[in-house]
Amino acid sequence: MVNLFFVFDHTLRSDSPQIRERYSIREAAAIAHNDYTDASARKRIKDLMSATQANTLFKSRFAIVNVWRSIAGPVITSPLTCCDAQTVSEDEIHASERRAKGRIGELELVSYSPKHRWYYYPEMTKNEVLMIKTYDSESKARAKRSVHTAFKNSLAPENAQPRQSIESRMFVFF
């Protein structure tokens, strides 16, 4: 059995066009999605590891976990929200091509259902972190994915500081 983790991919986001332009960073994702499909999770390992390492690691269960936090004050304007995995059915999940600089992958989009239960963590600060399991290779895992998105908080004061966040992804092999 392999017990290992490997950190990769760091993404900075902001809901301020001025900050995005100044630092060449991405906007907060405003569509309900999950970051990986079975194919794209395995491909990401192959992209980052040697063929020998990948083949060895594929013999273990693995997950991809996003570590998400604010980098500038409390997140008020575009908080991250996660859907309870137990309320999302497989027939609501749809693979979709995702093009990034230098690579093509897949992510999962989700169809709307009134059964979905969404949760968010209001006014998360730089001292708080949210860990999101976005992929689990165990097909019978209680939560194989975590559908998530940002949303425009209609209760945010007009002068609220724009969201600025970072998410780092890691493989966890166990």
* Helix/strand number for the chain, H first, E second: 3, 10
Which is more confidently placed, 107 or 105?
Answer: 107
Average pLDDT, the chain: 94
Domain boundaries, the chain: 4-173
Residue 1 has pLDDT above 60, yes or no: no
The predicted-structure confidence for 38-97, as pLDDT tens digits, reads as follows 999 999 999 999 999 999 999 999 999 999 999 999 999 999 999 999 999 999 999 999
Please state, in angstroms and rounded to a whole number, the distance separating the CA atoms of residues 12 and 24: 9
**In this structure, are residues 153 and 3 in contact, taking their beta carbons and an 8 Å threshold?**
no
Q: Is the pLDDT of residue 2 over 70?
A: no
The pLDDT score that the predictor gives to residue 102 is: 83
Per the CB < 8 A criterion, the answer to whether 108 and 36 are in contact is: yes
The H-or-E segment that residue 98 falls in is strand 93-100
pLDDT average, residue stretch 91-111: 93
Residue 134 pLDDT greater than 80, yes or no: yes
